[in-house]
């Protein structure tokens, strides 16, 4: 029942991001897919991960593995999935506002050269930004598993 309700809300209240996610999903039909707490997860070759409503796209090879050698690859991949799933919970809560309130700031934080420089030079965790910190908290709360916490990946 929880999965059906999750999917119904993502396909109605979270329709804008779910439609975008469907387009990306269709473009990656040949990639590996599985379900995680109601979300449709695609493991892709992209260097970054993104959540779009019902759809989660996680990198098959996290670029930051060499920066965190104390963690096994499987653990980091699992933590990243919990984090990305947290973004889907934000989508449930924010509905059509998700892309503006979470998506745009998160994308800027991840890709602006000045943000990259700040994180690298000051050793600020990517997950310290409000969109990412909240995604970690939501993912952990709903799944009961550990997320990326404040790991420094830059």
Q: What is the mean pLDDT of the chain?
A: 95
Q: At what angle do helices 15-27 and 2-12 cross, to 10 degrees?
A: 100
pLDDT of residue 1: 64
Cα atoms in the 13 Å half-sphere on the side-chain side of 71: 20
d(CA 100, CA 20): 14
Task: Convert the pLDDT of each residue in 50-109 to its tens digit.
Answer: 999 999 999 988 888 888 889 999 999 999 999 999 999 999 999 999 999 999 999 999
Task: Convert the pLDDT of each residue in 15-62 to its tens digit.
Answer: 999 999 999 999 999 999 999 999 999 999 988 999 999 999 999 888
CB 126 within 8 A of CB 109: yes
d(CA 120, CA 53): 30
* Residue listed under structure tokens 């991840």: 110
Q: Is 90 exceeded by the pLDDT of residue 113?
A: yes
- Phi and psi for 36 in degrees, rounded to 5? -145, 110
Confidence (pTM): 0.95
User: Mean per-residue pLDDT for 149-154?
Assistant: 88
Task: Convert the pLDDT of each residue in 126-137 to its tens digit.
Answer: 999 999 999 999
pLDDT of residue 46: 86
């Amino acid at each position: 029942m929880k999965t059906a309700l999750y999917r119904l809300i993502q396909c109605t209240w979270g329709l804008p991001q779910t439609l975008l996610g469907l387009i990306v999903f269709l473009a990656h039909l040949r990639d590996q897919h599985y379900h995680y707490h109601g979300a449709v997860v695609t493991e892709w070759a992209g260097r970054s991960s993104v959540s779009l409503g019902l759809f989660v796209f996680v990198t098959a090879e996290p670029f930051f593995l060499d920066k965190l050698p104390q963690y096994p690859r499987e653990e980091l991949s699992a933590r990243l999935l919990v984090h990305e799933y947290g973004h889907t919970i934000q989508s449930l809560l924010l509905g059509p506002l998700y892309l503006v309130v979470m998506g745009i700031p998160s994308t800027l934080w991840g890709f602006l050269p000045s943000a990259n420089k700040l994180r690298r030079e000051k050793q600020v965790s990517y997950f310290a930004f409000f969109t990412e910190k909240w995604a970690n908290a939501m993912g952990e709360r709903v799944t009961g598993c550990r997320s990326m916490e404040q790991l420094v990946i830059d």
